[in-house]
Structure 1
Amino acid sequence: MTALALLALALALLPAGLALANLLALRARPAAAVPNGLVSILIPARNEAANIGPTLAAALASTGVPVEVIVADDHSTDGTAAIVAGIAASDPRLRLIPVPPLPAGWTGKNHACHILGEAATGRHLLFIDADVRLAPHGAAALAAAAESAGAALVSGVPRQVTATLGERLTVPMINLLLLGYLPIPLMRRLTDPALGAACGQLVLVEAEAYRRVGGHGAIRESLHDGVRLPRVVRRAGLATDLVAASDLATCRMYTDFAQAWAGFSKNAHEGLATPRALPVWTVLLGGGHVLPPLLVLAAPLGAGDATLALAALAVSLLTRAAITLFTREDPWTIPLHPLTVALALALQWNALLRPRRAGVATWKGRTYPAA
């Protein structure tokens, strides 16, 4: 048991060291002058009547750089198109375009983004989800970051708004994985596709580079554009970057645990839930974040070294606290951290082991053949 506690401490120290390096790197990135050129803010929307009004108000309030805002209405059956059309009537910077019928071999979001990319006229293309609220300086800051870094693609995680227990138990894994396990300083020095990462909620791409690499058409079958698109860009020898985006945008992804479970499950097979990757991630995440509290509970029974177990738990919670405070997430999620990681692993294993159905529900009620 002492050896197990030592292993837990080592596995907790790994993300702690990476998080420290990453947070310092994100904080130290110098700001650049706002580049010249139009930014196209591109929003795929399917049945987003509850979100689209505030999202458009925020996008149209952008400052520091000229913007056009284009919404692709993807066969909505609610009032999405009418809301957009009403706002567009009073602001010529906003356009509404219909999405053609979904071709075979495409997922819905990628097809809508492809249509948006074709319609955009800006120097930079800023793809945002319909539930993302840009800060007034958000678009300009992302364009400036791309200019400063010489990156073809720049992304960041918006500040995640979580109002229910189910959201607080699931959503924080996004920042833990990016900031605790992706070596951002190394990513900035190399163009290895394996180091590519983005948050699909907020992605800015240089328009010429986007079209040169094939844009969303190059990942047309994917359900995880945040993983696949930056890797396509890096495979072409171009740089991608991550920035601290908690003050650039906000997003409430889901409203309860059921939505979060379904949402994270749909693209698990393109993330951690593969036969090769998931056992490794289970050791890394389970050993570094779930095992320490179990060893602390077992220590009074004479099972193992209490000091080492407490040290591992402290390192794990301090890492999560540092990431949470840096990204301005809900601090009440910090004590839930071991359970959050355990649930994330359960979700990934469920996605990997469950029998494949004839179709998998994905984006806004569409189904696609199982891979």
Structure 2
Amino acid sequence: MINILTILFAIGILVWIGFLIDAFIGFQSLDALENEAALVDGPLLSVIIAARNEESQIRQSIISQLTQTYKNIEWILVNDRSTDKTGPLMEQLAKEDNRLKVVHIKELPQGWLGKNHALYTGTLSTSGKWLLFTDADIIYKPEAFAKALHYAEKHRLDHVTAAPNLNAHKFWLKTFVAFFLFGFSYFKRPWLANNPKSKIGTGIGAFNLVSKATYEAFGTHERIKMRPDDDLQLGMKLKQEGFNQRIVTALHLIEVEWYGSLKEALVGLEKNTFAGLHYRFSMVLFAILGVFVTHVLPFVAIFSTNKILALLSLGNIIGSGILYVMIIKKMTLFSPALFFVFPITALLFIYSIIRASFLTFKRGGIVWRGTTYTLRELRDQKQRGES
């Protein structure tokens, strides 16, 4: 057993070195939107917001958008079958500002996920050169739109996605969000979206800015209508098909409280976890084992009486720690000191994978926005999308 761990940890050190080099090079291409100039006047921007039961957050989000320094904007607010006061709140906002238009959806067509259908429906009422897909709980600083449009126009881009400040107030939620971003970053390598030679792309639901011509040429949300990770899939497929894409950070311009508690985070990840693992239980087992071996086991093995194993464990901890600090400082406003509870957070993340996969299997699918989608539907749509 010690010999196996020795080999694994020796390989692990080499892997962490590779990740560190890759991230260091990649982050050189990752611009901060705060440093961008602001576009004063330009093309019409159409902002599409799909909301279901967002009565507690949507007004604050929209108000933050209405104070943007960029003025040539229209908003399409899509009420996606809400059962609370979201619809009436949208109508009230539209009465206060004639740049807002409200679309109400009462039924979900067969073969669509709710949010994807709502976003697509919203685009049918747009007139802008640029489409911005954003969520109903995002808070914007006044120059966010102006800077993003200037960046897109200057670099002649088809798609820009921005990483917001994921705000979290409770300690364990903060550690969980930080760990998620850490894992997402080194696994998905989002900085490769900025490499024209790479086919790897990305998309973030808080801020997906795409030209309308590109969106229509791509095939709209109909291409990803059964993907619960619609934001990521939109960006990935756009890049795969050769569209010009970049990801930027906007930590001081865009903010969202992703989840209010750790429990909410666990529930929220139910819909995406199994999709992110390609609906395969072999990938679930691989993910659980991978996280445990790389993020938990070294913190145990460092106390081994075998000095070589202990030193290799320390090397893995140092490697993962340096990468963690690098990613957290670049992609969040959290303190890198959260690394001190890293193995505990890794165990929480393993629990989230097991929980989400078990519930998906037990239910025979996922529940999202009040609708159940079977695994067969999701898998069939995924296969059609890849063919």
For 1:298-353, what per-residue CA distance to the aligned partner results, in whole angstroms no more than 9, with x for missing partners? 23x33644333223212212221222222333215332333333333343344446
Give the 4+ runs in structure 1 shifted more than 6 A: none
Which amino acid is 1:18 matched to? D
SS of 1:77's equivalent in the other structure is coil
Show the counterpart of 1:261: 266
Matched residue, 1:252? 257
Aligned to 2:218: 213
Question: 2 CA distance for matches of 1:200 and 1:155?
Answer: 8
Structure 2: distance between partners of 1:22 and 1:293: 28
Instruction: Give structure 1 stretches of 5+ with no counterpart.
Output: none
After superposition, the Cα gap between the structure-2 partners of 1:304 and 1:65, relative to the gap in structure 1 and judged at 3 Å, is: farther
Amino acid at match of 1:16: L
Letter in 2 for 1:367: T
The amino acid across from 1:326 in the alignment is: K
Aligned counterparts of 1:49 and 1:191: Cα–Cα separation in 2:
43
Single out whichever of 302-311 and 274-283 deviates more from structure 2.
274-283
**226-235 or 211-220: which moved more?**
226-235
Quick one: structure 1 residues 33 and 56, their matched pair in 2 at CA, closer, same or farther if it must change by over 3 Å? closer
Q: SS in structure 1 opposite 2:176?
A: coil
**Which has the higher mean CA deviation after the structures are superposed, 344-353 or 124-133?**
344-353
Structure showing greater relative contact order (alpha-carbon pairs closer than 8 Å, 6 or more residues apart):
1
1:151 to 138, 152, 157: 157
Query: How far did residue 121 of structure 1 move?
Result: 1.5
Q: Tell me if structure 2 keeps the 8 A contact 1:157–1:175.
A: no
1:232 paired with 2:234, answer no
Selected match of 1:179 from 158, 163, 185: 185
Gaps of 5+ in 2: 377-387
Q: Does 1:167 align with 2:181?
A: no
1:319 to 315, 318, 323: 323
Query: Following the alignment from structure 1 to structure 2, what is the Cα–Cα distance between the partners of residues 82 and 105?
Result: 28
Distance 1:336 1:42 in 2: 39
Distance 1:4 1:368, change over 3 A: closer
> What is the identity, as a one-letter code, of the residue corresponding to 1:41?
V
RMSD, aligned α-carbons: 2.7
Match of 1:54 among 43, 54, 60: 60
2:89 is paired with a residue whose SS is helix
Does structure 2 conserve the Cα–Cα contact (< 8 Å) formed by 1:32 and 1:148?
no
Residues 228 and 272 in structure 2, CA contact (< 8 A), matched pair in contact too = yes
Question: Could you tell me how far apart the structure 1 residues matched to 2:198 and 2:235 are?
Answer: 10
Q: Helix, strand or coil: the match of 2:28?
A: helix
One-letter amino acid of the structure 2 residue matched with residue 313 of structure 1: I
Look up the match of 1:329: 333
Deviates more, 1:50-59 or 1:265-274: 265-274
Three-state SS of the structure 1 residue aligned to 2:269 is helix
TM-score (norm 2): 0.85
1:99-123 Cα offsets, whole Å, 9 max, x none, are 2410001001001100111112211
Measure how far apart 1:191 and its partner are.
6.4
Q: Is the 8 A contact 2:274 2:357 kept in 1?
A: yes
The farther-off stretch of 53-62 and 5-14 is 5-14
SS of the counterpart of 2:301?
helix
Deviating more after overlay: 246-255 vs 3-12: 3-12
| Cα distance in 1, alignment partners of residues 260 and 190 from structure 2 | 30
Asked whether the equivalents of residues 155 and 198 of structure 1 are also in contact (C-alpha less than 8 Å), the reply is: yes
User: Is 1:42 paired with 2:52?
Assistant: no
CA apart distance, 1:356:
4.0
Amino acid at match of 1:61: T
Q: What's the % identity of the aligned pairs?
A: 25
Q: Distance in 1 between matches of 2:277 and 2:144?
A: 30
Amino acid aligned to 2:195: R
Return closer, same or farther for 1:169/1:101 CA change in 2, 3 Å cut-off: same
Partner of 1:84: 90
SS in 1 for 2:132: strand
Q: Which one of 335, 342, 348 corresponds to residue 353 of structure 2?
A: 348
Secondary structure of the residue aligned to 2:252 is: coil
- Given candidates 5, 13, 16, the residue that maps to 2:9 is 5
